[in-house]
Amino acid sequence: MSTVVQQVTKNQLSTLQKKYQNYLLGKTPPYSLFSAKKNGVTITAYNSGKVVFQGNNAESEAAACGLTTTPSAPTKKAKSAHSTNRLPADFDTWSVLGSDEVGNGSYFGPLVTVAAYAEKSQLNTLKALGVKDSKLLTDPQIQTIAKKLITIIPYQPLVLTPEKYNQVQQQHNAVAMKVLLHHQALTLLQQKLVSTPQAILIDAFTTEKNFQQYLHKEQRSFSLPTYFVTKGEQHHLAVAAASIIARHLFLEALKEESAACGVLLPSGAGNKSDQVAVKLLEQGGLPLLGRYAKLHFANTEKALKLWRK
């Protein structure tokens, strides 16, 4: 299946809506003007002017609309983008915007992305508070530190509930989703700051090339020098702080969702998650499960088989 993405004007959007008025689908993704299906191609037009053609005949369908299917020439890589393995020697002393996400590997609970700003004058305070790689901390320690941390540093959380996650996942794969969330969290936080960070550090969940390609496809970019590293929380306290806050918010959301559905929702995606999913299916079928679980996980099929026995 191929995908063609085009940016069009408001007039073109209106013309396309009329063209596909006899092929409209009942459900439309968030922020979209319409969604239609013709000749095996799904056409989704967004209010932003972006139109996505998906299917084996995506190129020909886009061409039939008078839209070019030749990919636009990629812009030169911004001078602000830097190699993942070339952090300056004193980078851990810089004032940095960092981001991380939690919940991506958990069947239940939201996907939480957090951007945090650690100014150089605050680094010693953060160390004294116990901020470090969240994988070296227990959940109780994380929650204790996070409650103090959110009163000290600027941060921007984005919490994608399972229900919202399932909607977005129909249009974006997991990597694209995280790229957009990281970009939005970092951009929103940067706009709130009085001082200017020296750089952005992203805990790499994909290659830098992939990240930049997804950003380019969505016509987005960063205005600051941007670095991508694996285990980013070990390279700067900004990412460590973002990770701690994200884990705290994830645990709090999981607790609230457990109370709402009357079942203790586990973290992770093991056999325990399958058993809990069966309980939710028994209570309200797939619609209820979709309010608390990320349905594209393999756990869903396993739970459905157990439920139908």
Rounded to an integer, the average pLDDT of 131-136 is 90
Q: Strand runs (DSSP E) across the chain, as ranges?
A: 2-7, 32-38, 41-46, 50-55, 96-102, 111-118, 155-160, 199-203, 226-229
- Domain assignment of residue 77, yes or no: no
> Which residues does residue 113 pair with via DSSP β-bridges, in sequence order?
101, 158
Task: Provide the terminal-to-terminal Cα distance of the chain, rounded to the nearest Å.
Answer: 34
**176: Cβ contacts below 8 Å, ≥ 6 apart:** 214
Type and span of the H or E element at 250: helix 237-261
Q: pLDDT class for 30, splitting at 50, 70, 90?
A: low
Q: What is the CATH number of the domain that holds 246?
A: 3.30.420.10
156 and 204 fall within a common domain:
yes
Residues 208 and 249 in one domain: yes
Same domain, 96 and 243: yes
Angle at 156 between CA 155 and CA 160, to 5 degrees: 140
Beta carbons of 123 and 96 less than 8 angstroms apart:
no
In a domain, 104, yes or no: yes
Tens digits of residue pLDDT in 187-219: 999 999 988 999 999 988 888 888 989 888 888
Q: Both 116 and 153 in a single domain?
A: yes
Question: The whole model's pTM is what?
Answer: 0.72
Answer for the pair 189, 117: CB distance below 8 angstroms, yes or no.
Answer: yes
Model pLDDT for residues 136-183, shown as the tens digit of each residue: 999 999 999 999 999 999 999 999 999 999 999 888 888 899 999 999
Please report whether residue 83 resides in a domain.
Answer: no
The whole-number average pLDDT for the span 58-74 is: 61
Residues 241 and 275 in one domain: no
Structure tokens at 308: 């139908």
Is the same domain home to 143 and 207? yes
| pLDDT range class, residue 24, cuts 50, 70, 90 | confident
In a domain, residue 74? The reply is no
Query: 268 and 249 share a domain?
Result: no
Mean pLDDT, rounded, for 297-308 = 93
- Are 156 and 114 spatial neighbours (Cβ–Cβ below 8 Å)? yes
Which structural domain range is residue 19 located in? 2-64
- Pick from 212, 184, 165: nearest CA to 29: 165
CA 212 to each of CA 80, 163, 226: distance values in angstroms, whole numbers, following the listed order: 12, 28, 11
Report if residue 69 sits inside a domain. Answer: no
Q: Does 296 have pLDDT greater than 70?
A: yes
Residue 4, SS3? strand
**Do 96 and 133 share a domain, yes or no?**
yes
Contact 307, 276 (CB under 8 A): no
Beta strands at 96-102 and 41-46: parallel, antiparallel or unpaired = unpaired
Confidence at residue 263, expressed as pLDDT on a 0 to 100 scale: 95
Same domain, 180 and 299: no
Q: Please report how the helices 174-192 and 162-169 are oriented relative to each other, as an axis angle in degrees rounded to 10.
A: 120
Out of 255, 271, 297, a domain closes at 255
Last residue of a domain, one of 48, 64, 80: 64
The SS3 call for residue 102 is strand
User: Cβ distance 45 to 32 under 8 Å?
Assistant: yes
* Residues 248, 266 within the same domain: no
Q: Do 11 and 52 share a structural domain?
A: yes
Residue 305 corresponds to which tokens in the numbers above?
Answer: 């088989």
Residue 51 lies in a domain: yes
Mean pLDDT within 269-275: 93
Look-up of token digits 């929380």: 233
Residues 266, 251 share a domain: no
- Name the domain count of the chain: 3
What's the per-residue H, E or C state across 176-204?
A: HHHHHHHHHHHHHHHHHCCCCCCEEEEEC
**Are the CB atoms for 44 and 35 separated by under 8 Å?**
yes
Task: With residue 286 as reference, give the H or E element that holds it.
Answer: helix 271-289
How many angstroms separate the CA atoms of 107 and 127, rounded? 32
Residue 192 in contact with residue 156, Cβ under 8 Å? yes
**Does 270 fall in a domain?**
yes
